[in-house]
Amino acid sequence: MNRQEEKGISQQIWDFLSSMRVGIGLLLALTVMSLYAATFLEHGEAMERVYTSWWFMGTLAVTAASLLVCSINRFPGIMKRVHVLKTDASPGWLDSLENRAEIAAAKRPEVLAEALKKKGFRTGISFDDGKYLISADKGRFGYLGSLVTHISLVLILAAGFYGVVAGDEGGAAGFAGRLIELPQYGFDVRIDDFTIAYRDDRSVEQYYSTLTVIENGIEVKQETIFVNRPLRHRGVNFYQSTYGWGVDVVFTNTVTGEGEEMLLTDGQRGFYHPLGIYVNVLRFFPDFTMTQGGMPTTRSVYPANPGVVFQFQDHHGQVIGEQFYIEPIGREIDLVDGFTMEFAGYRNYTGLQIIKQPGKPLALFASILLIVGLFLCFYIYPRRIWVRQGEDGVALVAGTSYRNKVGFGLEFEQITEKLKTVGGGQ
């Protein structure tokens, strides 16, 4: 029987997940999958067929498992390296290190150890056959780097999965005055105001919605949101997302003086009982003009020349008269029997996204941890130096670093220079 078969299946899975090669394979697989989806599929299709598919999610889950397993495997060894200064450096091994120098052996090793300590090293002195060995290390927290990095990645993935499972996403739109009821969250939000700020060139500078949060009939807070500044309340976030136009339609019976007002948005129709007709607003154009081909269009998003394209329908929905009419704002249209209609004004409504993302604090924490981990990985590099007393009044300085070979080479030169001067020879 060979070793493979002796191992239990769970041990084999564990070994598989802890292998760096498998880790690289998983990264490659994720690269290929996302490359395919991002490059060759439409966004919606990519979401549906790749990013939310069982095999993509599964690969992410296996990657998380792999990260966890290799972290657990390496944990004891890493902790030992962080805690324990390595003092078992045999002469033969020291001779094999890349960075070596000879200095005059100091009478008192404490002086050399002190010099290393001043450079930020942790030091220890031991004796062997009456000869001293100074062991020193620095940057030991760098060993934690990959561990912290990998754990933070597991947390980010966990936050993502949690967000998918427990998150919630919706939207609401309305004119100023509308109350958005959110019984599922235990509070309501009232739209107090919506305005668009335009620049001189009539492009949009910003959209502002003023919202009030109402809990059990009590106004809790009021905030003005805009793009890049959502309202956040009890883990639910309100984003400025879209906007649209509405027109105020006023019907008047000039004989009796009675009138009726309605507010209609694009594609909405309103029924006027006295005449039994619908007015159907097909489209509001803020800056109305006609194309070469005779189609209505808008020059800009700024309401410089507002116009309404609409039609009338009977109570069955049959079009009355022309397929469509075009009217500016503020002009009275005579209908029949002394009835008139007017597009009296226009307003904007606001469109909000309402999103609950419970994984967010964890994702943010994990992202900060990720940055810390990478910093430990790349900028706190562990290095070790030994000074071993040899024969004939010389001592061997030898050093090794876990990363940063060139940088350590330079540092090693400086340190040996320093040791030469403080040691003072015999």
Partner 1 sequence: MDPVFSEQAFFVSTFALYILAAIFYVYYFTSGKNSAGKRATYIAAAGLFTHTAAIVLRTVEAQRAPLSNQYEFASVFAFGIVLCYIILEQRYRARYQVFGAFVMPFAIIVMAYAATLPRDIRPLMPALQSWWLKFHVGTAIFAYGSFAIACGLAFMYLYRARREESGQLGFVAGKFPSLAVIDDFIYKTVAFGFLFQTLVIVTGAVWAEQAWGRYWGWDPKETWSLITWFIYAIYLHARFTRGWGGKKAAWFAILGFACVLFTYIGVNVLLPGLHSYR
Contact residues: partner 1, CB under 8 A: 20-21, 23-24, 27-28, 30-31, 34-35, 37-39, 43, 46-47, 51, 160, 169, 199, 201, 203-207, 226-230, 237, 239, 241, 353, 355, 357, 360, 363-364, 367, 370-371, 374-375, 377-378, 403-407, 410
Q: Least distance to partner 1 from the beta carbon of 116, Å? A: 23
Distance CA 187, CA 356 (A): 14
Q: Site for ligand HEM (CB under 6 A): which residue of 15, 23, 250, 357?
A: 23
Q: Least distance to partner 1 from the beta carbon of 336, Å? A: 46
Closer Cβ to partner 1, 80 or 232, answer by number: 232
> What are the Cα distances from residue 364, in Å, to 144, 152, 360, 371?
20, 10, 6, 11
Interacting partner of 34 out of partner 1, ligand HEM, none (Cβ under 5 to 8 A depending on kind): partner 1
Could you tell me where the beta strands, DSSP code E, fall in 316-404?
Answer: 319-328, 332-334, 339-356, 383-389, 394-401
Number of residues forming the site for ligand HEM (CB under 6 A): 18
Q: Site for ligand HEM (CB under 6 A): which residue of 9, 20, 165, 336?
A: 20
Q: Least distance to ligand HEM from the beta carbon of 370, Å? A: 8
Closer Cβ to partner 1, 73 or 404, answer by number: 404
Q: Least distance to ligand HEM from the beta carbon of 150, Å? A: 6
* Phi then psi dihedrals of residue 202, to 5 deg: 70, 10
Check if the beta carbon of residue 255 is closer than 8 Å to that of residue 235: no
Place of tokens 């979401």: 47
Residues ≥6 apart with Cβ < 8 Å to 266:
244, 245, 281, 282, 283, 284
Burial of 369 (0-12, 13-18, 19+ CB in 10 A): middle
Q: Least distance to ligand HEM from the beta carbon of 165, Å? A: 22
**Is 376 among the residues that bind ligand HEM (CB under 6 A)?**
no
**Is 71 among the residues that bind ligand HEM (CB under 6 A)?**
no
Question: How many CA within 13 A on the CB side of residue 315?
Answer: 5
**Is 149 among the residues that bind ligand HEM (CB under 6 A)?**
yes
Check if the beta carbon of residue 240 is closer than 8 Å to that of residue 251: no
Closer Cβ to ligand HEM, 20 or 295, answer by number: 20
Distance CA 160, CA 48 (A): 17
Q: Site for ligand HEM (CB under 6 A): which residue of 140, 150, 269, 383?
A: 150
Residues ≥6 apart with Cβ < 8 Å to 164:
none
Single-letter amino acid, residue 214: I
Could you tell me where the beta strands, DSSP code E, fall in 54-119?
Answer: 99-104
Closer Cβ to ligand HEM, 160 or 423, answer by number: 160
Interacting partner of 150 out of partner 1, ligand HEM, none (Cβ under 5 to 8 A depending on kind): ligand HEM
Residue 68 CA, chain-centre distance (Å), reads: 22
**Is 354 among the residues that bind ligand HEM (CB under 6 A)?**
no
Residues that bind ligand HEM (CB under 6 A): 18, 20, 22-23, 26-27, 63, 66-67, 70, 145-146, 149-150, 153, 374, 377, 403
